[in-house]
Amino acid sequence: MPELPEVETTRRGIAPHVEGREITEVIVRQARLRVPVPADLVDRLVGARIRTLSRRAKYLLVPLSAPAGGTLLWHLGMSGSLRLARLGELPKKHDHVDLVLDDGGILRYHDPRRFGFVDWLAEGREPDPRLARLGPEPLSDAFDGARLYRLSRGRRLSVKPFLMDNAVVVGVGNIYAAEALFLAGIDPRRAAGRISRERFDRLAAAVREVLAAAITQGGTTLRDFVGGTGEPGYFKQRLNVYGRDGQPCRRCGAELRLVKLGQRASVFCGQCQT
């Protein structure tokens, strides 16, 4: 599943090619996504100009000028990607939505599993509930060890699912939670409420470090993800624990262990993480 670094990589990859461009045509080949494509999307978008792209958690936000005057809310789901194409470039299977631009470029949405969506947020409406309940961005000043410590008091929940709660902090998915906990030396099974402020400071710093590194290197290469220019991410070759159960720890050589926490596989080192 594309996580925060993959979505940020996509934003950075496509932004220079689409910002300021006018949408001249919208092609919807498959409207039955996780959230159905709005029936009036074509009428709303044609003639509108794309403003500055932004990201909130794993959502890509595409604000538009008049006549649309709203924002496209894009989610890549489990296997979705946004690619840049050119007029005359034939769509592939699972290429569901095209935004054709005034310079002949195409912003093309590809999603084999159709768990993603593109939705419309009208200007001036109440905050969308999908965005209103989100915690701070992990690379922002609003996220730190003090917040983790404060929200964890009295919690018996294991620290890994606690860290993956979007109300606590957004965008720390399974891969990056596992990697950050390894860097911080924290056992993912440990109850969040029993972790000290000092250790949460280390964990917050580790979250920042692993996400920043992943974004710099273009996200994590999984089976389906490619960035906005069609290039895969390269972070996977640096993973310390995720997907490496049974292999030796890169730090101490002990065999990495696999457990399930919150229905998600979690790999950790029983020697380095306590």
How many whole angstroms separate alpha carbon 10 and alpha carbon 189?
Answer: 32
Phi-psi region of 154 (alpha: psi -120 to 50; beta: other; left: phi over 0): left
How many whole angstroms separate alpha carbon 108 and alpha carbon 102?
Answer: 14
Residue 156 known to bind ligand: no
**171: Cβ contacts below 8 Å, ≥ 6 apart:** 3, 4, 7, 57, 58, 137, 138, 211
Residue 133 known to bind ligand: no
How many whole angstroms separate alpha carbon 224 and alpha carbon 273?
Answer: 31
- In this structure, the number of other CB atoms found within 10 A of the CB of residue 113 comes to 14
Please give the angle made by the CA atoms of 117, 119 and 124, to the nearest 5 degrees: 155
- Determine the residue type at 101: L
> Cis (ω within 30 of 0) for the bond into 67?
yes
Residue 147 known to bind ligand: no
| Residues annotated as catalytic (active site), given as ranges | 2-3, 58, 264
Task: Report the DSSP beta bridge partners of residue 74.
Answer: 60, 118
Q: How many CA atoms lie within 13 A of 79 on its CB side?
A: 12
Q: Which residues are annotated as a binding site for DNA?
A: 94, 113, 155
Q: Which residues are annotated as a binding site?
A: 94, 113, 155
